[in-house]
Structure 1
Amino acid sequence: MTIMSDAAAHAESASLLAAGRRPPLDAGEFRRQGRLVVDFIADYYARIDDYPVRPSVTPGFLTSKLPSTAPMTPEHDALAAALRDVRDLILPGSPRHFAHYPASSSNAGALGEALAAGLDLNPFTWAASPAATELEIVTDWLGKALHLPGRLLFAGGGGGTLMGTTCEAMLCAIVAARDAKLAVVGEERIGDLVVYCSDQTHFSFLKAARIAGIRRVNCREIPTSIQNGFELTGESVRAAVDADVAAGRVPLFLCATVGTTATAAVDPVAELGAAVEGRGVWVHVDAAYAGAACVCPEHSHVIAGAGDVADSVSTNPHKWLLANLDCCALWVARPAALVAALGTDDHVILKDADVADAVVDYKDWQVALSRRFRALKLWLVLRCHGTDGLRATVRAHMRMAAAFERMVRADERFEVPVPRRFALVCFRLVGVENEVNRRVLEAVNATGRAYMSSAIVGGMYVLRCAVGNTLTEERHMREAWSVVQEQASAVLATTGQHSMLRRNSF
């Protein structure tokens, strides 16, 4: 390969400018274009209430408007033209979106993303980027803010890392547990390994287990019930593990959830840990959503017991702690188990042998080799908001959810069939078939004035209102409830049914 001389490089830059084209990285143009993008985003947030919560489009609406190939030459003022297309065709979002656990946003989170992208660092080894690697100690900051047990933090012999999603975190934990177990029982027994979760556990756990080589027939989804609040019980886990041991299989991994997707149920971590004590089962706590609530001392009890039994814990700061997508924190009690399963080495990889035992190479804690500089964003969020600011955000959303719950309970046509947890309210028309509740949700979402989702738990179809968008205010909750009432009345009128008086509400 021929290396271009400095003179030739300057000449090529000059020829690009002469042709009206700038180099890909140009400070002056970056400043001009950056202002366009920042102004665009600021205008979007200022007018976000004007956008429908659910766009009226059909599949293929965007692809039909796009050329079949990329342009051969740059468009005139291409960025400005692209921003117009983003405004007209792509802009999403609304503070009236209550369907899913949110991806929360903040100025610090968005600008942290921009700063990380601009610096374009790849902290996959300490030698490749010492400062970016060491800044990941911010996981200890976060762990302490969430009242996590010390043994999961670097300060206590464990350690944390930042990934993209919970699925990645669970996959890495399962692989670490798998290899540690196979080193004891023999690799030929991989087909005997069994993992355990509840029927309320997020589907990403079973996806991760299958990717890790666990047979589908060895994935135990243990039933829960409304009587136990859809929480996994120690008794049911113990029975499942005993049955597998008696059949000659090898219990491997238990996933406990703090804040299930359907109802935000909290599995009793200490009880579950006691149920598998002495069995060599890796205990993982999936706190993707509700782990953020632990920033509030009054909610830190939901992860009580993890200090003694949890081998790993994960939570998503992008869900409720203002960190913007994507940001998942994974803590492990024994980092060496991750490194043993996922570690790689090659002469081409930049490493410093003299300090190898004193540094962390995060490429050995994850599936991918390259990685994003997520620590910068989380560090900025924690510095700009502080733990007090994060608590205020979480508590405000919980207050709005509680206000929504009160509105539901005040309408005798509705019930709250499971306790409100954190900022999620599950509700339904009482005394009607599931299909009627499904039609109510469909009608609510079709208005474009509110957007909610559903779940089927214990045979009941429930509507889910998850509060957590950064821009959601109390008025949005009142408007959303008004939409629900209007559409429920309309659906009941067309079906000729009348909801019975509320019953079985918690």
Structure 2
Amino acid sequence: MSPEEFRRVGKQVVDWIADYYAGIEQHPVRSRAEPGEIRAGLPAHPPERGESFDDVLADLDEVLLPGVTHWQHPNFFAYFPANASGPAVLGDLLSGGLGVQGMMWATSPACTELETVVVDWLAELLGLPEHFRTDSTGGGVIQDSASSATLVACLAALQRSGQDVARRGITRRHALYVSAHTHSSVERAARIAGVGADNVRVVDSDPDTLGMDPRHLEELIAADLADGAVPTMVCATVGTTSTTAIDPVRAIGEVAARHGVWLHVDAAYAGVAAVCPELRWINDGVAEFADSYCTNPHKWLLTNFDCSLLWLANRAPMVDALSILPEYLRNEATESGEVIDYRDWQIPLGRRFRSLKLWSVLRCYGAEGLREHIRGTIALAREFAGWVREDPGFELLEPHPFALVCFRPRYSELPAAEADERTRRLLDELNDSGELYLTHTKLDGRVLLRLAIGSPQTERHHVRAAWDRIRRAA
């Protein structure tokens, strides 16, 4: 494709994306495709001769688009948001156009140094501690997801445990600590790292706050020490996936510090809320106790997937765990020790120029625009929660500090099991309608509906229409 052909087709692609956003409400939120339907609409064999990009766009419209669930739809209230925005999309386009492989400073200094700038910028905007900055003992890095961030933190924690796991392997039983509400990525990290799922210890939760119980954590650590195990990492969550509950980071950190256990704070969803000064209470205990901290701009901060930030208080254990320098990667800059090689801060060797899209978002929105987005979605969630609270036919889960609301129809005339089944049928009916998309969770064995607000396209009338639709269906 010549530069001129690229220019022509590229304008078509940008127009296609702009038209898609302008008309996104014409699509059902959730795809109605049946399993195998998209594959059946595509050729069974690759083309022998090249085709025009016009043909590619035609198949995108006719074959692929019916199989897309529209995460940027204003009526997408499922899971957590996976925000995209114009600046982020354009930043990603620039990244793809440059085609940088930023595994080391030497392979593209701008890729590395822009990343150090934007992670430091965001740490400042979120009110995170100075030692998380890249010009201090710690530093930040953009991972693909919070799952990768958790795995990197786990490997660093294992290395810091004094067993030199990176070289010798796991020779003793290590234990990780979570609550029942912690994201499953911690168990996955335990499996991948060789700790084993059976050594992930589940700490009790406070029945009122749903936060981890520090007293039970202390008991479990003491029992593991008595059993000859090595307590290695505890994960405290700020905004759990199920309900956005908040673990008491400070109290958990005090327990972890007493026993030399690595504290990883998973704020994948809610951490970006601290861009608003009035919400920085969520950082309580982070500066004093967190060894690592993760939040995802690709959820709630207008930056399209994938963009998950991991900060460390001290990067040395992570680099010790992950750094391997074969001869073919040796270079003068690395040998000088004056640069960061992000290959040592992640699982894969290669890495994309992800910081371009986050940089574009920070530049184009500014702190003021980011705060407006966070505050606006929280305000919509509070208004929705108010409607639920005032309706005697529904039950609201309190508190709801961010932009997720959990609730359910009362169905008080039915036994619990039947009420849950009816709630599931309600969820299916709503999602099958194509008018909105919700997900569910379980708390104390009971089914709850989750409505998460986050799309920059979502306005008050969308939320009101969703509530009216839910009430009619219930």
TM tier relative to shorter chain: over 0.9
Residue 361 of structure 1: aligned partner: 341
Q: Distance in 1 between matches of 2:378 and 2:333?
A: 50
Question: How many Å separate the matches in 2 of 1:236 and 1:375?
Answer: 40
Partner SS for 1:54: coil
The structure 2 residue matched to 1:100, chosen from 76, 79, 86, is 79
1:260 corresponds to? 240
User: Residue in 2 aligned with 1:42?
Assistant: 18
Instruction: Give the secondary-structure state (helix, strand or coil) at the position aligned to 1:37.
Output: helix
CA contact (8 A) 1:182 1:189 kept: no
Q: Which amino acid aligns with 1:177?
A: A
- Tell me which amino acid in the other structure corresponds to 1:452: L
Q: Secondary structure at the match of 1:122?
A: coil
Which letter does structure 1 place at the counterpart of 2:95?
A
- Residue 288 of structure 1 and its aligned partner are, at CA, apart by 0.3
Aligned-partner SS, 1:221 = strand
Q: 1:409 to 1:27 in 2, by over 3 A?
A: same
Supply the distance in 2 between the matched residues of 1:438 and 1:418 (Cα, whole angstroms). Answer: 21
Choose the corresponding residue for 2:388, options 398, 408, 412.
Answer: 408
Q: What is the CA–CA distance in structure 2 between the aligned matches of 1:269 and 1:96, rounded to whole Å?
A: 33
Q: Secondary structure at the match of 2:232?
A: strand
1:78 and 2:55 are equivalent in the alignment: yes
Q: Which letter maps to 1:85?
A: E
SS in 2 for 1:485: helix
SS in 2 for 1:358: coil
Give me the whole-angstrom Cα distance separating, in 2, the residues matched to 1:180 and 1:158: 14
Structure 1 residue 81 displacement after superposition: 3.0
- Distance, in Å, in 2 between the alignment partners of 1:326 and 1:85 is 27
Measure the CA separation in 2 of the matches of 1:417 and 1:190.
44
Which residue type is aligned with residue 46 of structure 2?
A
1:223 to partner: Cα distance: 2.9
Contact 2:30 2:68 in 1 (8 A): no
Q: Please give the alpha-carbon distance, in whole angstroms, between the structure 2 residues aligned to 1:487 and 1:381.
A: 39
The match for 2:106 is 127
TM-score normalised to structure 2 length: 0.94
Asked whether 1:220 is paired with 2:212, we answer: no
1:183 Cα deviation from its structure 2 partner: 2.9
Distance 1:378 1:318, change over 3 A: same
What are the Cα deviations for residues 207-262 of structure 1, in whole angstroms up to 9, with x where unaligned?
111101112221112232432x1100211211111111111111000000010001
Are the equivalent residues in 1 in contact too, given 2:188–2:197 (CA < 8 A)?
Answer: no
CA RMSD of aligned residues (A): 1.7
1:86 deviates by 5.7
State yes or no: 1:51 paired with 2:43: no
Give the drift of 1:87. 6.4
Deviation at 1:438, TM superposition (A): 1.7
**2:134 corresponds to:** 154
1:256-291 alpha-carbon deviations (Å, 9 max, x no partner): 001000110111111101112231211000000000
Task: Pick one of 60, 67, 73 that aligns with 2:43.
Answer: 67
**1:161 Cα deviation (Å)?**
0.4
Which residue of structure 1 lines up, in the alignment, with residue 181 of structure 2? Answer: 200
The residue type equivalent to 1:55 in the other structure is: S
Pick from 254, 268, 272 the counterpart of residue 288 of structure 1.
Answer: 268
Q: Which residue of 2 aligns with 1:10?
A: none
The answer on whether the counterparts of 2:159 and 2:318 sit within 8 Å (CA) in structure 1 is: no
Contact 2:153 2:318 in 1 (8 A): yes
Alpha-carbon distance in structure 2 between the residues aligned to 1:88 and 1:276: 49
Question: Which of 216, 219, 239 in structure 2 is aligned with 1:239?
Answer: 219
The equivalent of 1:169 in structure 2 is 149
> Residue 436 of structure 2 is aligned with which of 450, 455, 464?
450
Offset at residue 421 of structure 1 (A): 2.3
Report the counterpart of residue 66 of structure 2 in structure 1.
Answer: 89
Q: Distance between the aligned counterparts of 2:152 and 2:179, measured in 1?
A: 20
Using the alignment, how far apart are the partners of 2:303 and 2:395 within structure 1? Answer: 34
Residues 155/82 of structure 1: CA separation in 2 closer, same or farther (3 Å cut): same
Asked whether the equivalents of residues 200 and 261 of structure 1 are also in contact (C-alpha less than 8 Å), the reply is yes
Q: Deviations over 1:316-335 (max 9, x none)?
A: 01101111111000001111
31-40 or 241-250, which moves further after superposition? Answer: 241-250
- 1:80/1:442 CA distance change after superposition, 3 Å: closer
TM-superposed CA distance for 1:399, in Å, is 0.6
Q: Which AA in structure 1 matches 2:377? A: H
Determine helix, strand or coil for the equivalent of 2:468: helix
Q: Is the 8 A contact 2:31 2:66 kept in 1?
A: no
Task: Please show how residues 489-500 of structure 1 align to structure 2 within 5 Å.
Answer: none
> Is residue 2:385 matched to residue 1:389?
no
Q: Secondary structure at the match of 1:348?
A: helix
Pick closer, same or farther for the CA change 1:354–1:261 going to 2, 3 Å. closer
Query: In the alignment, which of 73, 89, 99 is matched to residue 110 of structure 1?
Result: 89
Query: CA separation in 1, counterparts of 2:172 and 2:436?
Result: 47
Contact 1:226 1:458 in 2 (8 A): no
Which blocks of at least 5 consecutive residues in structure 2 are unaligned? none
Structure 1 residue 460, shift from structure 2 partner: 2.0
Structure 1 position 470, deviation (Å): 1.9
Q: Name the SS of the counterpart of 2:402 in structure 1.
A: coil
Which amino acid counterpart does residue 327 of structure 1 have in structure 2? C
Instruction: Give the letter for the 2:253 counterpart.
Output: G
Paired positions, count: 463
2:456 equivalent to 1:470:
yes
The 3 A distance-change label for structure 1 pair 234 and 141 is same
Distance 1:42 1:247, change over 3 A: same
2:447 is aligned to: 461
| Long gaps (5+) in structure 1 | 1-23, 489-506
CA contact (8 A) 2:238 2:247 kept: yes
Matches within 5 A, 1:28-39: 28-39=4-15
Change in CA separation of 1:386 and 1:59 when aligned onto 2, cut-off 3 Å = same
**C-alpha displacement of 1:160:** 0.4
Q: Say whether 1:479 aligns with 2:465.
A: yes
Partner of 1:417: 397
Q: Deviations over 1:305-348 (max 9, x none)?
A: 11111000011011011111110000011111111010121221
Q: Are the structure 2 counterparts of residues 429 and 225 from structure 1 closer, same or farther at C-alpha, using a change threshold of 3 Å?
A: farther
SS, match of residue 329 in structure 1: strand
Q: Within 2, Cα distance between the matches of 1:335 and 1:113?
A: 27
Q: Which amino acid aligns with 1:472?
A: T
Q: What is the TM-score normalised by the length of structure 1? A: 0.88
Cα distance in 2, alignment partners of residues 91 and 486 from structure 1: 27
What is the SS of the residue equivalent to 1:253?
strand
- 2:447 alignment partner AA: Y
**Counterpart code for 2:467:** W
Partner residue in 1 for 2:304:
324
- The aligned residue for residue 259 of structure 2 is 279
